Structure 1
Amino acid sequence: MSLRQFEYALAVAEEGSVTAAAELLHVAQPSMSQQIRGLERELGVRLFARTPTGLVPTVVGRAFLREAEVAVSAARRARATARAGADDLVGELVVAAQMGLGTRQLPGALGALRRLFPRLEVTVFEEPNPAELERLARRGVLDLALMASPCEEGLYEGHHLGDEEFVVVLGAGHPRLAADRVELRELGREPWVRFDRDSALDGVLRDVLRDNGLTPTTVARVSQTSTAVRWAAHGLGVTLVPASAVPDGHCHLVRPVFPVVSQPVVAAVRPGAGPAETALLELLRQESWCESVSLSPVS
């Protein structure tokens, strides 16, 4: 078995066909088919089953692909470390963020990283479910993740960057906009725009509502903070999001809350991190994480 075969199998699983996978990796389709068949012969199992919608991994194929992804990620990190020089860094860096964390800070740090190392390939994704982030970390897929709590002990090294304060987003003309800070108990009769039930953001909101004796009406559930803010701004209901997740143009509809709601931001970094992870961690430390929520004048 070879890493190239692992990469081919992962591409087939992602694209659903050998032809599309070959195009993705810029290789000849017959060569890829031969490599996949050779891999299955060596393993003695079928990795893919043909369905009307394309090729899908078998049960044993899914198990194999999980380990193949770990091996390919480790090889990429090893190549990046080996090729790192004083003024250059190549390879791939995989970064994940728990949805709502570092919405403003992470792009700034990544932009600075790309300016330092223009040949470094960075893949970033946002994950609402903290359990899924932990699963990816255990599989060794992630190089660095922003989370609200440290990973399983010994898995990654946690670095506390600061805290994200949450704010309530109100519709235009809402009477509570006249206040500098909104008491949560004053929102007892408000409808709420909430998040997917298994997301960390909805977990925060669920705890806040419970702790303040609120039993709200849920009018909508969304999967993105920007969607929640926009819908709240149009008067569908109120919502609670990290302050840095409020898009430009909506700050005048935002108010901090009392009691204060916040959560820590932890950078989870692989033990023995390479130069790319170390550089990004330092850039994240330079970002502002604990600044007070600024209020725009009420128009």
Structure 2
Amino acid sequence: MELQQLRYVVAVAETRNFTRAAERCHVVQSALSHQIAGLERELGARLFERTSRRVRLTAAGEAFLPAALECLEAADRARSEVAAATGEIRGRLAVGAIPTVAAVNVPVALKDYRLRWPKVHITLTSAGSDDLIERVRRGAVDVAFLGLPLGAEPKGVQSLRLGGGELVAVVAPDHHRTETEVDLQSLADEPFIDFRAGAAGRAQSDQAFAAAGIRREVPFEVSSADFLVDLVRQGLGVGLLPAAYVPRFPDLRLIRLRDAPRRVEHLIWDNRPTPAATAFVELVRSPSDA
């Protein structure tokens, strides 16, 4: 069994197509098919069910795929560890981030990292804090930027607290309110636009209203800050966003809150970080020294 055979199996499993898998692996299809057939003979089981219309994993293939992925990841990690021992960082760095990161300029951090470690392949995905914590635990993401309610800590991962900040209310330019500062009670009758119930991005707002003994209506639930802002612009309700993030939207009116909800931003990473992940954490921890 060879690593190249494992790569071919993963490529076919992900593309569900031998031709596209061969293109991804930069080999002719006949060579890829031959290698997979040889592996199947060695294993004594077919990994794929092939028809004229589709390719899908057999039960044996479903059982084999996770182990194949682990082997490839271990091989990549071994190469990265050897390179790091000689002072070179290579491999992959999968970064996750909530859309409203304010404590770190993520694009600038990624640019600085790429300039310093050009042999690392960087990817970025955007998601909610809870989702990103789970992805880091599974190893699907190497490092991630989160925003959590005050007092909450990410579980099962290593973390670096980046800073905290208040949330502010944002409304459409022609909103009927003229105040520049209010308390939560004065907004109780307003319709709100917020993240979905149960999400970390929603928790700090819900906790602040609950602590003040105030019930509010949230008729519009969204999964992204951009969508929230679009709805606010249409005058459909009041949004709550981190104060440091709001300057990106100069057309919105900002209302400060005397009893504002607060959140804390964190950088998290796996308990066994790769050299690439460790280098990124160090860059964020001490950007002037990286």
Q: TM-score range by the shorter chain?
A: 0.7 to 0.9
When structure 1 is superposed on structure 2, of 38-47 and 135-144 the one drifting more is: 38-47
Pick the aligned partner of 2:154 from 146, 150, 154: 150
Q: 1:249 corresponds to which residue?
A: 249
Contact 1:6–1:72 (8 Å) recurs in 2 = yes
Indicate the structure (1 or 2) with the bigger Cα radius of gyration: 2
TM normalised by structure 2 equals 0.79
Superposition pairs of residues 50-129 of structure 1, within 5 angstroms? 54-57=54-57, 61-62=61-62, 64-84=64-84, 88-102=88-102, 105-128=105-128
Task: State the superposition RMSD in angstroms.
Answer: 3.3
- Identity percentage of aligned residues: 33
Please give the alpha-carbon distance, in whole angstroms, between the structure 2 residues aligned to 1:195 and 1:159: 24
Q: What's the secondary structure of 1:178's corresponding residue?
A: coil
CA contact (8 A) 2:40 2:46 kept: yes
SS of 2:154 mapped into structure 1? coil
Deviation at residue 250 of structure 1 after TM alignment: 3.2
**Partner residue in 2 for 1:191:** 191
The answer to whether the 8 A contact 1:170-1:237 is kept is yes
Amino acid at match of 2:159: G
State how 1:136-147 maps to structure 2 within 5 Å.
136-147=135-146
| 1:168/1:241 contact within 8 Å kept | yes
Task: Flag the 1:221–1:252 CA change in 2: closer, same or farther, 3 A.
Answer: closer
Q: Which residue of 1 aligns with 2:15?
A: 15
Q: State how far apart, in whole Å, the 2-side matches of 1:6 and 1:198 are.
A: 39
Whole-Å separation in 2 of the counterparts to 1:196 and 1:51: 42
* Paired residue type of 2:211: D
- C-alpha distance after superposition, 1:81-116 (max 9, x if no partner): 322487753321112224534585222211111121
Q: Following superposition, which runs of at least 4 residues in structure 1 exceed 6 angstroms of deviation?
A: none
Alpha-carbon contact 2:103-2:162 (below 8 Å) kept: no
Closer, same or farther: CA 16–202 of 1 in aligned 2, 3 Å: farther
Aligned length: 282
TM-score by length of 1: 0.77
1:233 paired residue number: 233
Shift of 1:197: 4.1
Closer/same/farther in 2, CA of residues 185 and 280 from structure 1, 3 Å limit: same
Q: How far 1:122 sits from its partner (Å)?
A: 0.6
Shift of 1:55: 3.5
Deviation digits for residues 17-76 of structure 1, max 9, x if unmatched? 222222223222222233334444444555445689843445664554344434433433
Task: Please list every run of 5 or more consecutive structure 1 residues that lacks an aligned counterpart in the other structure.
Answer: 288-299
Contact 1:129 1:198 in 2 (8 A): no
Q: Aligned partners of 2:47, 2:129: CA distance in 1, in Å?
A: 28
One-letter amino acid matched to 2:155: C
Q: SS of the residue aligned with 2:89?
A: coil
Instruction: Judge conservation of contact 1:73–1:141 (CA < 8 Å) in 2.
Output: no
Report if the CA contact (8 A) 1:176-1:182 is conserved: no
Structure 2: unaligned runs, 5 residues or longer: none
Q: Distance in 2 between matches of 1:57 and 1:231?
A: 43
**Alpha-carbon offset, residue 261 of structure 1:** 1.9
- Distance change in 2, residues 1:117/1:210 (3 Å): same
Tell me the CA shift for residue 229 of structure 1.
1.5
- 1:283 is matched with 283
- Matching residue of 1:294: none
Contact 1:96/1:144 (8 A) holds in 2: yes
How has the CA–CA distance of structure 1 residues 233 and 83 changed in structure 2, closer, same or farther, with 3 Å as cutoff? same
